[in-house]
Amino acid sequence: MDFEYTPEQIQLRKAVREFAEAEIAPHVMEWDEGQIFPLETVRKLGSLGYMGAIFPEEYNGAGMGYIEYAIVIEELSRVDGSLGIIVAAHTSLCSNHIYKMGDEEQRRRYLPRLATGEWIGCWSLTEPEAGSDAAGTRTRAVNERGEWVLNGAKTFTTNAHHADVCVAMAVTDRSAAQHGISAFIVEKDTPGFRCGRKENKLGLRASSTGEVIFEDCRLAAGQLLGRMNEGFVDSLKVLDGGRISIAALSIGMAQGAYDAALRYSKLRKQFGRPISEFQAIQHKLVDMAVELDAARLLNYRAAWMLDHGARVTRESSMAKLFASEAAVRIAGEALQIHGGYGFIKDYPVEKFYRDVKLCTIGEGTSEIQRLVIARELLKT
Ligand SMILES: Cc1cc2nc3c(=O)[nH]c(=O)nc-3n(C[C@H](O)[C@H](O)[C@H](O)COP(=O)(O)OP(=O)(O)OC[C@H]3O[C@@H](n4cnc5c(N)ncnc54)[C@H](O)[C@@H]3O)c2cc1C
């Protein structure tokens, strides 16, 4: 066992932190209030290799592992969770589905553009009637003379309105339930494909979340991604990695909230002393620091296992469950330490408090993580 960061990981964290402080921090509230998608910043992240961290260099990726990828998501989210979720949905859902399940032609067409941020990706599984029960997908794909014709609608797709490529799941065999859903790659200009409503959200407001609609959307046979009827099963494998990025998103935002609270507690004086000298405040900071450390360790274990080719369903679910719930608690305590000022938009903690809640919901709610982990535990 080795608990040291490598010199490269230390350098990576420093580089992403410096980028986030210089290029993201000054705009965070403006983007949040205006619900402005930070396209220019996303392109810059692409040119630095952060939009394709986990893909091999032959596909223009940065050739990093999941621990490095988690560091990137953490450091972006420490400043703005919206950037964290934009990069996460693009990388570990859309691009990774293509990387893991795509044939060589698909990898060559899509990954180099996605990995450099020239194209933005989104991934559509959820539907209005199929959220936690994602196998209840209704969007259907019918094969007509060698072409696929898609009809239906997806909801809550991160990046939908800015994506050049969408990986979407649709029913191809109604009688086969989980083994009757396939994945498709849809390019944004495909006739019959469009985005619908963009959601007005509690948090992560600079990221866009919305509907994706298919109306007689015709796709060439080569747009089927992975094996026919195995798209749902493949999605679960993709989500194993995706949950590491939601844990990293949680950890990054929790770190941002903790850092702000620690700083504030040393500056704010009441009863003639900095509030950090009160034991009640110290205990909050201690509990926050312990939970943050535990969340990080759980997530790096899952990331390390994934990098070593292991199955991580249990470990990534545990990391996501713990990190997201801990992050909600940490952001709440960070706000409490700020007192009334925590409720005011001049301080960063109110935004962390709003943003972090998504982490207990997206890519499987906490209830569903417990269901997944229970299944894994009861197997043995
Ligand atoms: C900001 C945002 C971004 C998102 N991005 C994406 C994306 O990019 N792509 C995508 O495909 N989806 C995305 N989602 C969708 C997200 O994954 C779903 O919202 C989530 O899986 C829950 O589904 P639901 O909202 O339909 O809730 P429901 O499934 O209706 O759940 C409602 C409640 O019931 C509970 N529940 C449901 N079933 C059970 C059960 N069997 N046992 C116990 N409790 C249960 C849930 O835990 C929850 O508390 C996003 C959502 C949001 C809000």
**DSSP readout, 168-201?**
EEEES-GGGGGGGEEEEEEETTSTTEEEEEEP--
- Give the Å distance between the CA of 259 and the centre of ligand 1: 30
Tokens of 183: 């994945």
Tokens of 221: 């046979």
Atom of ligand 1 nearest to the CA of 365: 47
* Spatial distance between the Cα atoms of 299 and 287, rounded to a whole number of angstroms: 18
- Give the Å distance between the CA of 253 and the centre of ligand 1: 20
* Spatial distance between the Cα atoms of 243 and 369, rounded to a whole number of angstroms: 10
- Report the largest interatomic distance among the alpha carbons of the chain, rounded to a whole angstrom: 80
* Spatial distance between the Cα atoms of 39 and 49, rounded to a whole number of angstroms: 15
Using pLDDT thresholds of 50, 70 and 90, give the confidence band for residue 244.
very high
Is beta strand 165-171 parallel, antiparallel or unpaired with respect to 121-124? Answer: parallel
Residue 177: predicted pLDDT: 84
* Spatial distance between the Cα atoms of 131 and 123, rounded to a whole number of angstroms: 14
In this structure, which amino acid lies at residue 250? Answer: S
Mean pLDDT value across the chain: 97
Assess whether the C-beta atom of 132 lies below 6 angstroms from ligand 1. yes
pLDDT digits (tens, 9 = 90+) for 251-304: 999 999 999 999 999 999 999 999 999 999 999 999 999 999 999 999 999 999
Using pLDDT thresholds of 50, 70 and 90, give the confidence band for residue 319.
very high
Atom of ligand 1 nearest to the CA of 89: 8
- Give the Å distance between the CA of 371 and the centre of ligand 1: 13
Whether 380 has a pLDDT exceeding 80, the answer reads: no
Which residue out of 155, 361, 363 has the highest number of ligand 1 atoms within 8 Å of its CB and is therefore the one to mutate?
Answer: 361
Whether 213 has a pLDDT exceeding 80, the answer reads: yes
* Spatial distance between the Cα atoms of 376 and 104, rounded to a whole number of angstroms: 33
pLDDT digits (tens, 9 = 90+) for 50-105: 999 999 999 999 999 999 999 999 999 999 999 999 999 999 999 999 999 999 99
Whole-number CA gyration radius for the chain = 21
Estimate the crossing angle of helix 279-307 against helix 313-337, to 10 degrees: 160
